Amino acid sequence: DETGVYKNLLQETAHRAGLNLPVYTTVRSGPGHMPVFSCTVELAGMSFT
């Protein structure tokens, strides 16, 4: 799973920079048969979706 690789890289980079660990939030919307997922990561007071 390549997703884990990027999450690990971000976590390691944040640690080296002396930042708190990233916080991930996933929101599911849409009907049950066709869900839509939106993910946000918060790091150093910034939010990325």
pLDDT digits 0-9 by tens, 6-49: 999 999 999 999 999 999 999 999 999 999 999 999 999 999 99
Amino acid, single-letter form, for residue 25:
T
**Is residue 2 scored above 80 in pLDDT?**
no
| Domains observed in the chain | 2-48 (3.30.160.20)
pLDDT of residue 1: 62
**Residue tagged 């390549």 (tokens):** 2
pLDDT of residue 4: 79
* Contact criterion met (CB below 8 Å) for 27 and 37: yes
- The residue among 25 and 3 whose pLDDT is bigger is 25
- For 49, what's the count of Cα atoms within 13 Å in the CB-facing half-sphere? 4
Q: Nearest 10 degrees: CA dihedral of 28, 29, 34, 38?
A: -50
pLDDT of residue 39: 95
